[in-house]
């Protein structure tokens, strides 16, 4: 199974984002590595944003049902 086809949890995505930020902050990566980390980070950010948006929609629906 390829890495891209695996589904990782929101928490795992946040943890990976933190690792990427730490790596980039250290400044030891080459330009190509930094670009790859940036690209991965942007994809993870979009995925996390989608999860949060879906959770917010669910909460809105639940609030409407109970009010």
Walk along the chain (67 residues) and give the pLDDT tens digit of each residue.
Answer: 445 557 899 999 999 999 999 999 999 999 999 999 999 999 999 999 999 999 999 999 999 998 8
Question: DSSP class of residue 27?
Answer: T
The Cα angle at residue 5 between residues 33 and 54, in degrees rounded to 5: 95
Q: What is the pTM of this model?
A: 0.81
Residue 37, token pair as written in the block = 């980390």
Query: Which candidate, 12, 1, 19, places its Cα nearest to that of 47?
Result: 12
42-59 pLDDT, tens digit per residue, is: 999 999 999 999 999 999
CA angle 63, 65, 67 (to 5 degrees): 65
- Cβ atoms < 10 Å from Cβ of 67: 5
């Amino acid at each position: 199974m390829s890495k891209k086809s695996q589904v990782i949890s929101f928490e795992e995505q946040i943890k990976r984002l933190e690792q990427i930020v730490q790596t980039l902050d250290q400044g030891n990566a080459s330009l190509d590595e930094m670009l790859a980390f940036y690209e991965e980070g942007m994809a993870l950010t979009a995925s996390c944003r989608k999860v949060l948006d879906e959770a917010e929609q669910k909460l809105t629906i639940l609030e409407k049902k109970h009010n």
